[in-house]
């Protein structure tokens, strides 16, 4: 009997040693030979991102279907695993760990808010995974030390500059700035001030306010006392609702320029047509003229019966860009190799292509390619960020009316 105990003990030791060794292997070692590319979608389905998340996930599905219908990328079918981050960093961390540890994904796409992006990036970086997002906090670019994160939406530094340029073009002379106290909006406020004062002139006042208050009247009165002709307002919808309500009540004449994810029909619904009339709303807009957009938008409309917003178009581009990079890296490539091909498939010196199939055939023919996406031209800077075109809209009678488009990164 003692003999059998010995063998089982030996077996136990050897098998546990094997298991221990296996857990130390990086994830990509598991998937090297796999004929499937495991893709994680981390979207803000519920919470503040709720208006955007579901359409982003649908766009990711549209792109995955496109790639799989064409026989996969480098012969690898894309398998999608979707999770909801509830627009909260804590929920996002749990969800991304599940995607990495249980679903063993090789890339995570579709991350919407910067709070989630900044929380998730250390985890994807440690696991050596590609992470594609629409986050706007300037810190995203600073933290992107391994070059594995890709920002498909303009940073708020760029937004701040764009706000200043648009306000100047429209003939405003005395701007003031009010911003919510977080990295996103303080960044926007400071870049606005910097850009405005670099081109001459002064910002009458810059007020950073504390979030979660029930009234911002004193802060607002302080700004209004400097008699600005326009206020650059970096706010989310709840605080913007209170501030605009209180501004309207004062009766003082003043214009507002705001980011498009706050100044939209939802804001009109909250405070009515009268108080929102004439607000200038600046947002990234999809590349409506690109063939990639037209083909994608048609499929999107067939499913959701409306036009895609810019975040949805960005999500579609994430998957197509990734698929082209997989194609370029070859069937045996792990995430790091795929990642290194992302710049190659969006490089400006390649042949312009507008769809996955077109790009795949060009790669097979040994050509350099440049994917011009549905959301933008996808020109990534050295920190992995791109700048889509800006749409300048005005709220007129409760509806957003597009006035002009300003080119993004050239």
If one counts every other C-beta atom within 10 angstroms of the C-beta of residue 410, the result is 7
For another protein, the binding residue among 27, 34, 47, 98 (CB under 8 A) is 47
**Residue closer to another protein (CB basis): 254 or 270:** 270
- Minimal distance in Å, beta carbon 91 to another protein? 12
357 binds another protein (CB under 8 A): no
Beta bridge partners of 73: 76
Give the list of residues 6+ apart from residue 114 with CB closer than 8 angstroms, or none.
135, 136, 137, 139, 140, 183, 184
128 binds another protein (CB under 8 A): no
Classify residue 98 by burial, with Cβ atoms within 10 Å: 0-12, 13-18, 19+.
Answer: middle
- Rounded to an integer, what distance in angstroms lies between the CA atom of residue 64 and that of residue 78? 6
Helices (H), 251-389: 265-271, 273-276, 291-304, 310-329, 335-340, 342-346, 356-364
For residue 96, what are its two tokens? 């991304």
- Minimal distance in Å, beta carbon 55 to another protein? 16
Q: Which stretch binds another protein (CB under 8 A): 64-72, 131-139, 233-241, 389-397?
A: 233-241
7 binds another protein (CB under 8 A): no
For another protein, the binding residue among 241, 321, 346, 393 (CB under 8 A) is 241
291 binds another protein (CB under 8 A): no
Site for another protein in 249-268 (CB under 8 A): 249-251
Taking CB under 8 A as the rule, which mask of x and - marks residues 73-92 in contact with another protein?
Answer: --------------x-----
User: For residues 160 and 233, is the Cβ–Cβ distance under 8 A?
Assistant: no
For another protein, the binding residue among 275, 338, 385, 392 (CB under 8 A) is 275
Closest by CA to 390, choosing from 67, 90, 164, 59, is 164
User: For residues 89 and 122, is the Cβ–Cβ distance under 8 A?
Assistant: no
- Minimal distance in Å, beta carbon 376 to another protein? 29
2 binds another protein (CB under 8 A): no
Taking CB under 8 A as the rule, which mask of x and - marks residues 173-192 in contact with another protein?
Answer: --------x-----------
- Rounded to an integer, what distance in angstroms lies between the CA atom of residue 209 and that of residue 396? 28
Beta bridge partners of 39: 80, 107
- Residues of the shown chain interacting with another protein in the complex, contacts defined by CB under 8 A: 46-48, 50, 87, 181, 207-210, 212-215, 217-219, 221-222, 225, 237-238, 241-242, 245, 248-251, 269-272, 274-275
């Amino acid at each position: 009997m003692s003999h059998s105990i010995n063998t089982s003990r030996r077996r136990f030791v050897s098998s546990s040693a094997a298991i221990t060794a296996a857990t130390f292997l990086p994830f990509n070692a598991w998937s090297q030979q796999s004929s499937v590319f495991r893709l994680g979608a981390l979207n803000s389905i519920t919470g503040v991102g709720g208006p955007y998340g579901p359409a982003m996930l649908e766009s990711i599905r549209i792109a995955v279907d496109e790639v799989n219908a064409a026989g996969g990328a480098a012969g690898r079918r894309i398998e999608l695993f979707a999770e909801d981050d509830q627009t909260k960093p804590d929920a996002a961390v749990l969800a991304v760990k599940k995607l990495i540890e249980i679903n063993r994904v090789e890339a995570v796409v579709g991350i919407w808010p910067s709070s989630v992006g900044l929380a998730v990036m250390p985890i994807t970086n440690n696991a050596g995974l590609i992470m594609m997002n629409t986050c706007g906090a300037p810190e995203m670019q600073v933290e992107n030390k391994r070059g594995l994160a890709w920002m498909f939406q303009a940073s708020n530094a760029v937004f701040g500059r764009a706000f200043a340029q648009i306000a100047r073009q429209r003939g405003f002379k005395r701007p003031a700035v009010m911003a919510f106290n977080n990295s996103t909006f303080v960044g926007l406020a400071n870049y606005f001030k910097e850009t405005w004062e670099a081109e001459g002139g002064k910002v009458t006042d810059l007020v950073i306010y504390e979030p979660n208050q029930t009234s911002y009247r004193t802060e607002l009165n302080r700004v209004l006392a400097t008699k600005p002709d326009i206020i650059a307002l970096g706010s989310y919808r709840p605080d913007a609702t209170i501030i605009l309500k209180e501004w309207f009540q004062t009766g003082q004449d003043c214009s507002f320029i705001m980011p498009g994810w706050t100044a939209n029909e939802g804001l009109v619904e909250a405070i009515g047509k009268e108080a929102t009339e004439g607000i200038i709303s600046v947002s990234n807009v999809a590349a409506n003229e690109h063939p990639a957009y037209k083909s994608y938008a048609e499929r999107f409309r067939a499913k959701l019966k409306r036009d895609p917003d810019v975040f949805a178009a960005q999500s579609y581009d994430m998957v197509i860009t990734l698929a082209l990079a997989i194609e370029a890296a070859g069937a045996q490539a792990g995430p790091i190799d795929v990642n290194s091909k992302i710049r190659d498939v969006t490089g400006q010196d390649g042949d312009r292509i507008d769809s996955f199939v077109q790009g795949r055939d060009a790669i097979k023919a040994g050509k350099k390619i440049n994917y011009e996406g549905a959301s933008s031209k996808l020109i990534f800077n050295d920190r992995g960020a791109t700048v889509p075109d800006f749409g300048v809209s005005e709220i007129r009678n409760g509806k957003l009316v597009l006035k002009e488009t300003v080119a993004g990164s050239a």
